[in-house]
Structure 1
Amino acid sequence: MESLFSRLFKYRSSDKRVQQENFLTEIFAFLLKNPALVAAFLNECGVAIQGQPENIKIDTQQSFSTYPERIQPDIFVRFFVDNQKWLVFIENKVGAREGENQLDRYLGYLSKEVNKDTNCALLYLTRYYDPKLVDPPLGVIFKPIRWGQVYSILAKFEDNVFVSQARLFMEENNLSLSRDFSTNEITAMMHWNTVRTMMDNSLEEAQERLKQITGIKRLYQEDVGDYLYIAGKSLAIEIGYYLEDIAKEATDEDFPYVGSAIVVYPEHRNREQITSAFMEFEKKGRNWKLRGDPKDKNDEIWVEKLLLLKEFMKSKDHISSIQQWFLKEILPDIEEFLKDNPYSLN
C-alpha cells in the first residue's frame, strides 16, 4: 500500500521540482510535536535531556540573525526540561550538499545562545554517512545522524498512524537503509571498483577541461549518493553520474543519469542575477532545464543537462561516447555561460 506521504507528493507542482529534502523536513517537524517522540529522538541521538520536554515550539526554515548575515536551519526546536531552556537545530541533507561554512555558522549562533544559559545542540541529518570536521564551541552538542537511525527510533511510535505512514514513506524512498546485506548489494560491492574505474575513465578528459574553463586546479569529489566532480562552492559546476532519484521517470528507475548541473546556492551574493541568467540559458534550446524555485530565496537553483546512461549503451564504446558528449555538448555550454556571466564560483 502506498503511503499517505507518497500520495501527497504526487500533487507537487508540475512546473517545478519539489525537493524531497524539504518534504521530509516538514514531515519530520510535524512528528516532533509529540513530546515523547522528541525526548526519545534526542536521547537516542546522544543529546541527553534527562526529562520530558515541555512548552515545545517547532518550526521550519526560520531565519536567525548572525549580523551581518542570517542563518536558516531546516528545523529548530525550543523547549524546557525542568525549567532549563533548550534550543536544537536540525539540518537535513538528503540530496543537496552542505552550503559554504553552513554548519560552522549554525554553531556560531548556538554558542551565543549558550552564553544566555540555553542548552544547545546541532544535529546533522543525512541519508548516508557524511563525516564533518567541525569543532563545536564549548557547551554546544554536535551530532551527525542518519535517516536510518530516525527510522529505527520511529518504530517505537508506530501505533501513531502518521508515524507509521512516515516510516512507510522512508522505506519507499530508500531512507530506512536496511542493516542486512542482500545478494544484490553484495554483488554491487564486488563490482564497485570496476564501476568506479569506468566512471572515472569516462570523466577524465572532462575533468581536465573543466579545470581549464574554471581556473580551479583541484575539483571536489562527491561520492555520497551521486558520483560527481565539482568546481566551485556557492556557484558550483557539477559533472558526473547522478545515482539518486534526480528527475527520474517511473519507467527509468534502474538507470542513472549522466550529465552536468550549474548550481547557485542561497548564500551567493549574486544569486538573483545568476538565477535570471539560468532562465535565459534555458531558453537557448540546448536541453538545459531549470530546477528549483526561483521565487524561494532559500532554495538552491540550478540548470541541468542529463541523459540516461542507457542512451550511451547503444554505442560500441560506452566510455568514448560519454567522453565525447561531455567535450562537445556539455563543456562548451558551460564555458559560454561562465564567459557571459563571470560571477565568482566561491
Structure 2
Amino acid sequence: MSLFSNLLNLHLGNKPREDFFTEIVAYFLSLNNDILLDWLKHYSIIGDDKYSSIKISTQQEHQALAIHTEDSRLDIVVELSTGLTTDVIFIESKIGSKEGWEQLKKYADILSNLPNIKHRILIYITRDYDPKEEIKTPAFNLEPKVIFYQLRWHQFYARLQQHSTDILAQEILIFMRKNGMSTTNQFSSVDLLTMVNFNKTLHLMKSTLNEEVQREFKLAFGGVIKGAASMTQWRWYSIYIIYTKFSGDNLWCGLGYFNLNPDTLTEYPYLGIFLEVSASFGERPKIIESMQKVINDKPRNVEY
C-alpha cells in the first residue's frame, strides 16, 4: 500500500479522499513547476509564455456573487504571472463524485469577474466518464471570456509516469492506481463478469425491494414514491432505493442499496435505511435531536 493510502486510512469516519488527493497533487506541482507547465502545454491549455511566478493554492474560498446563492470553495487555483500579465486557472477535481448543481457555471462566473487577468481558464478533471459537452468554450458566453477544458485523471497519470524517478511522483502514481485513476477504456475481467451478471443482479435488487418490503415500508412511513428505485439513482448517486417524503421536500426516508459504485475492490455495497432533513427546514434541530436519540438507543451498525 502507498504512503498516501496509509495516511488516508488514519482518518476516522468518512475518508475525505478528493480533498486529500487535491492537497497531494497541488503540493507536488508547487514543488515541480516544470511538470505543471508540461502537463498544461501538452493539452494546449497554455502557450509558451515565460512565467516568472507560479502560485498554487487549494480550497480557496470566494464570496458568492449577487447571482449566486452560496459561497464557493475551489479545489485548486493556479496563478501564472509573466511580471506584466497574469493568467488564472481554476481546477475542479472529481474522483468518485459528480459535479454539484451548476458548480462549473458558478466557478466560471467567479473567474470572469476577477480583475486584471489576461487568460481565464476553467479545468474540470475527473476519474469517471462525466461528459460536459453542453459547456462550450468560451464557457457560458461570459465576458470577459472563460476557456473551458475537460480532462481525465488517467491523462495526468500518463504524463506523470514520465517523471516516475521522483519518489513523491512514485507515491502519487501508486495512490492513483489503487483508486482507479490510471484506468483508460480497457475492460478488465471484473468488468466482463459485471456485464454477464448485471441483469440477474438488477432483477434480485428489484425483487427484494418489491411487494412485502414495500408493504412494510408503507406501514412504517405512510407511503412509497411511485417508481422510486431507478437506474438514474444508481448512475448519479450510487444508490438503488425506495423512498418517501414528509413536509414537502424537507424530510425524507429511503430504504435500499447504497455504495453501488465503490471506489476500490475492497469496498462493497450495503443494504440500509436513512432519514435526511433539509438544511433550510425550521424543524431541523428537533429532527436531528430525535435521530440522535434513536442512534443512542440502537447504536450498533448505524452510520450517520
TM-score (norm 2): 0.73
Identity %: 26
Contact 2:60 2:73 in 1 (8 A): yes
1:259: which partner in 2? 272
CA shift, 1:164, in A, is 0.8
Q: What's 2:74 paired with?
A: 73
Amino acid at match of 2:271: V
Aligned pairs for 1:289-308 (under 5 A) are: 289=302, 303=304
Measured against aligned partners, the alpha-carbon deviations of 1:219-259 in whole angstroms (never above 9, x if no partner) come to 7534158244698999987653313448x9xxx93642233
Native 8 Å contact 1:88 1:120 kept in 2: yes
Residue number in structure 2 paired with 1:127: 127
Q: 1:242 aligns with which of 241, 259, 269?
A: 259
The worse-fitting range, judged by mean Cα deviation, of 101-110 and 145-154 is 145-154
Gaps of 5+ in 1: 291-302, 304-346
Aligned CA distance change for structure 1 residues 182 and 162 (closer, same or farther; 3 Å): same
CA RMSD of aligned residues (A): 4.0
The answer as to 2:157 corresponding to 1:151 is yes
In the alignment, is the contact (CA less than 8 A) between 1:241 and 1:259 conserved in 2? yes
List per-residue Cα deviations over 1:270-317 (Å, max 9, x = no partner): 69x858854651431345745xxxxxxxxxxxx3xxxxxxxxxxxxxx
Question: CA 1:275–1:157 in 2, change beyond 3 Å: closer, same or farther?
Answer: farther
The aligned length equals 280
Unaligned runs of 5+ in 2: none
Distance 2:277 2:37 in 1: 37
- The one of 267, 278, 291 equivalent to 1:281 is 291
Structure 1 stretch displaced more, 194-203 or 217-226:
217-226
The yes-or-no answer on 1:11 pairing with 2:17 is no
Q: Do the aligned partners of residues 235 and 204 (structure 1) sit closer, same or farther apart at CA in structure 2, a change above 3 Å counting?
A: same
The Cα shift of 1:167 comes to 0.5
Match of 1:223 in 2: 235
Question: What is the rounded CA distance, in whole Å, between the counterparts of 1:262 and 1:95 in structure 2?
Answer: 23
Which digits, 9 at most, give the CA deviation of each residue in 1:101-152, with x for residues without a partner?
2211111111223x74431122222221012343523421222222222211
Aligned twin of 1:174: 180
CA distance in 2, matches of 1:77, 1:28: 12
**In structure 2, do the counterparts of structure 1 residues 236 and 57 end up closer, same or farther at CA, with 3 Å as the change threshold?**
farther
Considering only CA atoms, is the larger Rg found in Structure 1 or Structure 2?
A: 2
Cα displacement (A) at 1:163? 0.9
| Aligned counterpart, 2:171 | 165
| Contact 1:120–1:141 under 8 Å retained in 2 | yes
Residues 98 and 130, structure 2, Cα contact 8 Å, conserved in 1: no
Query: Counterparts of 1:94 and 1:263 in 2: how far apart (Å)?
Result: 24
Code of the residue aligned with 1:257 in structure 2: it is Y
1:27 match: 24
The corresponding residue for 1:312 is: none
1:189–1:215 Cα change, 3 Å: closer
- Could you say what secondary structure the match of 1:79 adopts? strand
- Asked if structure 2 preserves the Cα contact closer than 8 Å seen for 1:5 and 1:165, the reply is yes
Match of 2:189 in 1: 183
**C-alpha distance in 2 between matches for 1:193 and 1:71:** 41
What letter matches 2:74 in structure 1?
P
In structure 1, what is the Cα distance between the partners aligned to 2:199 and 2:206?
Answer: 11
CA contact (8 A) 2:105 2:140 kept: no
Q: Is the alpha carbon distance of 1:280 and 1:61 closer, same or farther for their aligned partners in structure 2, counting shifts above 3 Å?
A: farther
